[in-house]
Amino acid sequence: MFVVVVGCGRVGAQVARRLVDDGHDVNVIDRNAEALQRLGGDFPGEFVQGPALETTVLEAAGVERADAFVAATNGDNTNLVIAQVARDRYQVDCVIVRVLDPARAALYEQKGLVTVCPTRTAIDSMSDALRVFAASGAEGA
């Protein structure tokens, strides 16, 4: 499949690399040219530099023919807007959005977006680890 990944930070760059390793075609968008370095020198896809809110930038990365779209910039609102644009304007079948704020993640999940909320994941993992410890009876030992 062909995937457009927006945001080439720690998350976006690694998602792009993994998809390439799995044999998929991937283009990446980031507003900063230096972000390209995170992909490594042998990255086979295209890197488009520019703000992802601009349709010319999305189109240069091939959003019109994308099977999947990943919104992983460091801005929740930017991610939520471009994800809806990818889904509603370019009819991309699979759209995945990173949203740090759990409240907004829940709201937009109700509106049919596939949201990934690292904050919620961290809260769940931490409280689960603490529950395991409490249940073990080791506290105060």
Partner 1 sequence: MYAVIVGGGKVGANVGRALLRMGHEVSIVEARPSRFATLEAEFEHMARYGDGTEVFVLESAGMARADVCIAVTGDDEDNIIIGQVARDHFGVENVVARVNDPRNQEHFDLLGVAPTVCATESILSLIEHEVPQHSLVHLFSLRRENLDIMEIGVVGESRADGLTVGDLPMPAGTLLISVLRRRVGRVATPDTVLEAGDQVVVIAEPGQESALMEIFARE
- Min separation Cβ 86 and partner 1, Å: 11
Out of 1, 18, 37, 88, point to the residue binding partner 1 (CB under 8 A): 88
Q: Does 24 bind partner 1 (CB under 8 A)?
A: no
Q: Does 84 bind partner 1 (CB under 8 A)?
A: yes
Provide the CB-side half-sphere exposure for 92 (13 A, CA).
30
- Min separation Cβ 72 and partner 1, Å: 15
Give the total of residues touching partner 1 (CB under 8 A). Answer: 18
Q: Does 32 bind partner 1 (CB under 8 A)?
A: no
Please say whether the beta carbons of 29 and 4 come within 8 A: yes
Interface with partner 1 by CB under 8 A: which range of 24-32, 64-72, 74-82, 118-126? Answer: 74-82
Out of 2, 50, 78, 120, point to the residue binding partner 1 (CB under 8 A): 78
Instruction: State which amino acid sits at residue 53.
Output: L
Provide the CB-side half-sphere exposure for 88 (13 A, CA).
9
Q: Does 85 bind partner 1 (CB under 8 A)?
A: yes
Kindly list the residues in this chain that would bind partner 1 in the complex (CB under 8 A): 53-55, 75-78, 80-81, 84-85, 88-89, 101, 103-104, 107, 111
